């Protein structure tokens, strides 16, 4: 049995994503931005964020890593199961992630993208969950800081379920 308690409504998500889009548009003015979404969790955030960015040139690609297995406990192991296909040389890369928890996934990705001769590599996360941080990694753009709990919806899953909910909720398992 599980119960859900909404912590971020559709309207709150929409407002904050618009603000992030405006900030990114200002910061990358005149540049060639490449958004790289981290699958599967970032797919909804990425789709909304891309449409909130008002730049002439924005390319989009995805990467897939897994660090979680099928439960809410991190396995600690990161595997790359889909790489980017765009050429990133001299591009301004923005990694788009759903949530930072321990920080291991993004630290690993950030390091890996710095090897690829991109002009810059920055991080945008919808949620920064600070409670279990193990690696010192600071996102450049953060939607919301959430202290604790396991979250689902708006792309976030529990055992691949619940990604489709339009709001973000705390999941309580009993
Ligand atoms: P990290 O490597 O511990 O920072 O884990 C990051 C990944 O774990 C995220 O991309 C999510 O896929 C997953 N994750 C961490 N916390 C949550 C959560 O509260 N709900 C759903 N997925 C989570
Ligand atoms: Mg994820």
74 within some domain: yes
Q: Rounded to whole angstroms, how far apart are CA atoms 104 and 75?
A: 11
84 within some domain: yes
Domain count, the chain: 1
DSSP state of 130: G
Residue 87 annotated among the catalytic residues of the structure? no
Euclidean distance between the first and the last CA atom of the chain, given in angstroms as a whole number = 6
3 within some domain: no
- The answer, yes or no, to whether the previous bond of 117 is cis (omega within 30 of 0) is no
Measured in Å, residue 30 CA sits from the centre of ligand 1 at: 33
Measured in Å, residue 40 CA sits from the centre of ligand 2 at: 6
4 within some domain: no
Q: What is the pLDDT of residues 85-115, one digit of tens each?
A: 999 999 999 999 999 999 989 998 988 888 8
Q: What are phi and psi of 131, to 5 degrees?
A: -55, -40
157 within some domain: no
Instruction: Output the ligand 1 site: residues, CB below 6 A.
Output: 41, 67-68, 74, 97-105, 129, 150-151, 156-157
Q: Which residues of the chain have pLDDT under 70?
A: 67-76
pLDDT at 119: 94
6 within some domain: no
Report which protein residue has its CA nearest ligand 1's atom 10: 99
Query: Which ligand is located closest to the Cα atom of residue 108?
Result: 1
160 within some domain: no
pLDDT at 66: 75
- Which residues in 55-138 belong to E strands, given as ranges? 58-66, 79-82, 92-100, 120-129
pLDDT at 79: 81
Q: Which residue segment(s) compose the domain that 94 sits in? A: 11-150
CATH code of the domain containing 75: 3.40.50.2020
Measured in Å, residue 37 CA sits from the centre of ligand 2 at: 10
161 within some domain: no
pLDDT at 97: 97
What's this model's pTM, rounded to 2 decimal places? 0.93
């Amino acid at each position: 049995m599980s119960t859900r308690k909404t912590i971020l409504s559709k309207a709150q998500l929409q407002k904050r994503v618009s603000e992030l889009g405006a900030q990114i548009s200002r910061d990358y003015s005149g540049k060639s931005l490449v958004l790289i979404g981290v699958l599967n969790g970032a797919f909804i955030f990425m789709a909304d964020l891309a449409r909130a960015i008002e730049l002439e040139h924005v390319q989009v690609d995805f990467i897939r890593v897994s660090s979680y297995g099928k439960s809410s406990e991190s396995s600690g192991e990161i595997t790359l199961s889909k790489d980017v296909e765009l050429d990133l040389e001299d591009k301004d890369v923005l990694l788009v992630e759903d949530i930072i928890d321990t920080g291991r996934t993004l630290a690993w990705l950030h390091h890996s993208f710095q090897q690829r001769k991109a002009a810059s590599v920055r991080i945008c996360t919808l949620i920064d969950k600070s409670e279990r941080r193990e690696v010192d990694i600071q996102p450049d753009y953060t939607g919301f800081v959430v202290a604790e709990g396991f979250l689902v919806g708006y792309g976030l899953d529990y055992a691949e379920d619940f990604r489709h909910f339009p709001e973000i909720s705390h999941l309580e398992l009993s």
